A and B are shown apart, each in its own frame.
Chain A
């Protein structure tokens, strides 16, 4: 609809380096994917909270929490798989930039979950972004 101002098929500038394939393949994967990536979550956000919010965009097939590679605890991201592409699109359109568990989250298309992608790739075991993350949950610092 709003073709004048934004190309809805224009995808995020993020390019996953571990994607096996060409740029074209990557874009095709994103354009057909039914998986969304959710970032900037609180480390304490539960699957049930994710379920309640994201099921308002459509029926959820699966939720995969992103985990710190070392401590195996949630580290601020997750994947949600839908049964339908339309639902995934709605999730990106309507939920990205809004609040979940008191934090504004980011929702993007993901090229497709594979085993192994649930582990944070940052050096400390969390997400790469966390090296730059400045707005930690208050009590996280107590545990560090």
Chain B
């Protein structure tokens, strides 16, 4: 029975390989009427396979004819879930289920409309200036979205059966839209409202929502309908906490020209809902995810829409719901599932995005670079590079050229230089954009004495202490020592990532001794960058690991990134940005890890308290033993509780110590974070101040040289930097807001505040 429920609507053995929905419903109904206790599972299916709700709803309608008690429980369950649902997806989907059950006569349309009205009035109150709080608009918008989202599933029935009531709701929605604050031109809610209106004027006819209940209408009409009471909506503080949980679901990306996706507006909305729900509920289940993505219950083709939807998630700002890798995987799976259609669509999307890459947000560009290189690595790096060979005629700072360059860089990292060279053989000129082929650049290759001495000490497994004394005793100017030592150690650790971290682990102290202040650390990074000048990857890794071992501070990294050499590369390469991203990300991860640890330590302490309390309660309880009142719970349970409590107490001391230590570490980390952002914004501000005034003048002069890309070098440089300021600010917004006062006071320029 489980599989029958799960697989309704699918072409599968359980349903004899056919896909007639009427038969499916009858079969499912036939099985379920004998196994009625399984209604919680039914509800679970409806919640996680929302595109099948019309089928489930009809089944429930038929069951209603036979066993009203059962269906009553289903409705109650649904209602309870709705009441307790603090999760947007659940609310939206459960309401859809209720709407469909209304279609199957399981509930009356009247009560359903009352639910709509309650949501509507709550939304209106929220946005009303006196009683509500405009910052809760996300919540209010969501309620309205919920109402509108239900209409495709039951609009026709509602208009037929309760025309006045539903008209009131529509008027109410229109009124809400007029008083709320509009985001920008692509306002999701306004757009959805527009689609619903079009649907309404089409007599509520649409392709993308199956209506299986119509085949059973004659029978369903006899069913008894069950009551539905309206859920209580959160208010006050609850609302505020809930605010954070109403993120925008989709920011539509219009990659393809409109004629590729010719659908009724409402059908597009619904197909997107289906796709997003599958992506959400089938994360972790590759096979089913791909199979449901391609097998939606709609009569039209939607490969272009599917591509646009997935890319819109991949490029969603500030963060996609899942790691970008997820969408990479989905795209790969879909290319394999639809080899005749989907790969071409993806290629089309890439071309379209490439065309408009200069308009894309910096972070989106980075995501695209990482996605594309990873994607191609799964398909033997096959791509018609000759189509893009023209980027060589563009200036070095042209975004398209930089994009190609960075994709090739990442491809080399995922495979190897010769392979990537071979993959661009149809566009051999692009070789110019490949990263350098060579390996390390050891300054002391021909064996400067000191370097060789150090080398043999390391091979002889001498410990840091000894090496440090050796350095101090030898007569070397300190500056020189740094270079020799660092380069030699890097050379010893150059064979692989593991070699590097082994050297850092064993001889980190030596480096630390030599680079105790920030300026020395910057010199250190210079040495690293020089040694690994032919490998951006190893440069980034070495710097990242040194920061991990606290040999260099994130401060020093920022300083280095903003040094004059690197500044010149800001608009032509991703390398300095990669290093900056790593440093900020690591700082943030440290904080995030500490917070998690502190939270779990606090939980342990709370648990210890509970155990103690339980024990006390048990000890002082009066129980009957052989009819006589005795103090204390039964001995078995008492013994168990005692041992839990004792164990908890033992651990308590060490837990408290850990907690104290972690909290101190967290405080330090937060300070570092604040200092980091201060430094970051200060640096951004300084470099921009220097150059912005000149820039506007140059735009006209540069025009003659650049064919295809008209933006002058200086202007592009500024654009790139501003783009990154925006990206960093957005990604770490919550951390930045914590320190906003200090930042405001010291560094924030109006341009930044806008970001």
A is bound by B: yes
**A interface residues with partner B (beta carbon < 8 Å):** 1-6, 8, 46-49, 51-53, 56-57, 59, 62-65, 83-84, 90, 93-95, 97-102
Q: Which 6 A-B pairs have the closest CB atoms?
A: A2-B285, A52-B413, A94-B325, A47-B497, A99-B378, A47-B496
Residue B612, interface by CB 8 Å: no
- The reply to whether B325 and A48 contact each other, CB–CB distance below 8 Å, is no
Within 8 A of A (CB), among B703-732: none
Residue of A nearest to B5 (CB): A4
Shortest beta-carbon distance from A42 to chain B in Å:
10
- The reply to whether B329 and A48 contact each other, CB–CB distance below 8 Å, is no
Residue B537, interface by CB 8 Å: yes
The binding surface of chain B is classed by DSSP as: helix
With A3-B48, A48-B537 as known contacts, state yes or no: A95 contacts B377, CB within 8 Å.
no
Residues of A within 8 A of B300 (CB): none
Residue B589, interface by CB 8 Å: yes
- The reply to whether B326 and A1 contact each other, CB–CB distance below 8 Å, is no
- The reply to whether B496 and A93 contact each other, CB–CB distance below 8 Å, is no
Stretch from B154-162, B275-283, B342-350, B636-644 at the A interface: B275-283
Q: How far is the CA of A59 from the CA of B582 in the complex (A)?
A: 9
- Cβ contact of A94, chosen from B328, B496, B497, B589, cutoff 8 A: B328
Q: How far is the CA of A88 from the CA of B497 in the complex (A)?
A: 19
- Cβ contact of B332, chosen from A4, A6, A98, cutoff 8 A: A98
Shortest beta-carbon distance from B117 to chain A in Å:
32
- Beyond the given pairs A56-B370, A56-B374, 17 more chain A to chain B contacts, judged by CB atoms under 8 angstroms and listed by A's residue number, are A2-B282, A2-B284, A3-B44, A47-B496, A51-B497, A51-B537, A52-B410, A52-B413, A53-B374, A53-B414, A59-B585, A83-B589, A90-B323, A94-B323, A98-B329, A101-B415, A102-B415
Residue of A nearest to B499 (CB): A47
Residue B519, interface by CB 8 Å: no
Residue of A nearest to B48 (CB): A4
Residue of A nearest to B585 (CB): A59
- The reply to whether B285 and A47 contact each other, CB–CB distance below 8 Å, is no
Residue B380, interface by CB 8 Å: yes
Residues of B within 8 A of A1 (CB): 48, 280-284
Residues of A within 8 A of B537 (CB): 48, 51-52
Interface centre among A53, A59, A94, A95 (most CB of B within 10 A): A94
Within 8 A of A (CB), among B44-61: 44-45, 48-49
Residue B541, interface by CB 8 Å: yes
Residue B515, interface by CB 8 Å: no
Residue B316, interface by CB 8 Å: no
With A4-B48, A63-B497, A83-B593 as known contacts, state yes or no: A56 contacts B325, CB within 8 Å.
yes
Q: How far is the CA of A47 from the CA of B323 in the complex (A)?
A: 23
Residues of B within 8 A of A53 (CB): 374, 414
Residues of A within 8 A of B586 (CB): 59
- Cβ contact of B285, chosen from A5, A52, A95, A97, cutoff 8 A: A5
- The reply to whether A48 and B496 contact each other, CB–CB distance below 8 Å, is yes
Q: How far is the CA of A44 from the CA of B751 in the complex (A)?
A: 49
Q: How far is the CA of A1 from the CA of B292 in the complex (A)?
A: 15
Q: How far is the CA of A34 from the CA of B627 in the complex (A)?
A: 55
With A59-B589, A99-B377 as known contacts, state yes or no: A4 contacts B45, CB within 8 Å.
yes
Q: How far is the CA of A100 from the CA of B325 in the complex (A)?
A: 14
- Per-position binary interface string of chain B over residues 367-381, scored 1 when its CB falls under 8 Å from any chain A CB and 0 otherwise: 000100010011010
Interface centre among A62, A93, A97 (most CB of B within 10 A): A93
Within 8 A of A (CB), among B245-279: none
- The reply to whether A4 and B380 contact each other, CB–CB distance below 8 Å, is no
- The reply to whether B6 and A4 contact each other, CB–CB distance below 8 Å, is yes
Shortest beta-carbon distance from A2 to chain B in Å:
4
Could you give 22 example pairs across A and B, Cβ below 8 Å?
A1-B282, A2-B283, A3-B44, A6-B284, A47-B496, A47-B498, A48-B413, A48-B541, A49-B413, A52-B413, A52-B537, A53-B374, A56-B325, A56-B374, A57-B325, A65-B498, A83-B589, A94-B323, A94-B328, A100-B377, A101-B415, A102-B415
Within 8 A of A (CB), among B512-556: 537-538, 541
- The reply to whether A6 and B323 contact each other, CB–CB distance below 8 Å, is no
Interface centre among A1, A56, A84 (most CB of B within 10 A): A1
Residues of A within 8 A of B283 (CB): 1-2, 93
Instruction: Give the size of the chain B interface in residues (CB under 8 angstroms).
Output: 42
Within 8 A of A (CB), among B643-683: none
Q: How far is the CA of A99 from the CA of B45 in the complex (A)?
A: 33
Residue of A nearest to B44 (CB): A4
- The reply to whether A5 and B6 contact each other, CB–CB distance below 8 Å, is yes
- The reply to whether B414 and A2 contact each other, CB–CB distance below 8 Å, is no
Residues of A within 8 A of B45 (CB): 4
Q: How far is the CA of A51 from the CA of B283 in the complex (A)?
A: 24
Q: How far is the CA of A63 from the CA of B496 in the complex (A)?
A: 10
Residue of B nearest to A104 (CB): B378
With A57-B323, A93-B284, A94-B328 as known contacts, state yes or no: A2 contacts B498, CB within 8 Å.
no
Shortest beta-carbon distance from A47 to chain B in Å:
4
Residues of A within 8 A of B589 (CB): 59, 83
Residues of B within 8 A of A95 (CB): 325
Residues of B within 8 A of A46 (CB): 496
- Cβ contact of B414, chosen from A49, A83, A94, cutoff 8 A: A49
Residues of B within 8 A of A48 (CB): 413, 496-497, 537-538, 541
Residue B324, interface by CB 8 Å: yes
Q: How far is the CA of A51 from the CA of B500 in the complex (A)?
A: 13
Residues of A within 8 A of B44 (CB): 3-4
Q: How far is the CA of A12 from the CA of B437 in the complex (A)?
A: 40
Residue B286, interface by CB 8 Å: yes
Shortest beta-carbon distance from B298 to chain A in Å:
21
Q: How far is the CA of A59 from the CA of B544 in the complex (A)?
A: 10
Residues of A within 8 A of B497 (CB): 47-48, 51, 63
Within 8 A of A (CB), among B452-507: 496-498, 501
- The reply to whether A51 and B48 contact each other, CB–CB distance below 8 Å, is no
Shortest beta-carbon distance from A59 to chain B in Å:
6
- The reply to whether A64 and B593 contact each other, CB–CB distance below 8 Å, is no
With A2-B48, A52-B410, A94-B323 as known contacts, state yes or no: A63 contacts B498, CB within 8 Å.
yes
Shortest beta-carbon distance from A131 to chain B in Å:
27
Q: How far is the CA of A100 from the CA of B380 in the complex (A)?
A: 10
Shortest beta-carbon distance from B291 to chain A in Å:
10
Residues of B within 8 A of A5 (CB): 6, 282, 285, 288
- Per-position binary interface string of chain B over residues 280-315, scored 1 when its CB falls under 8 Å from any chain A CB and 0 otherwise: 111111101100000000000000000000000000
Residues of B within 8 A of A101 (CB): 414-415
- The reply to whether B49 and A4 contact each other, CB–CB distance below 8 Å, is yes
- The reply to whether A97 and B286 contact each other, CB–CB distance below 8 Å, is yes
Residues of A within 8 A of B282 (CB): 1-2, 5
Q: How far is the CA of A63 from the CA of B541 in the complex (A)?
A: 13
Residues of B within 8 A of A98 (CB): 329, 332, 378
Residue of B nearest to A89 (CB): B284
Residues of B within 8 A of A57 (CB): 323, 325
Q: How far is the CA of A102 from the CA of B415 in the complex (A)?
A: 8
Residues of A within 8 A of B541 (CB): 48, 51
- Per-position binary interface string of chain B over residues 30-45, scored 1 when its CB falls under 8 Å from any chain A CB and 0 otherwise: 0000000000000011
Residues of B within 8 A of A6 (CB): 284-285, 288
Q: How far is the CA of A49 from the CA of B411 in the complex (A)?
A: 10
Q: How far is the CA of A57 from the CA of B288 in the complex (A)?
A: 22
Within 8 A of A (CB), among B578-606: 585-586, 589, 593
Residue of A nearest to B380 (CB): A102
Shortest beta-carbon distance from B590 to chain A in Å:
10
Residue of A nearest to B282 (CB): A2
Shortest beta-carbon distance from B275 to chain A in Å:
15
Interface centre among A2, A51, A99, A102 (most CB of B within 10 A): A2
Interface centre among A53, A64, A98 (most CB of B within 10 A): A98
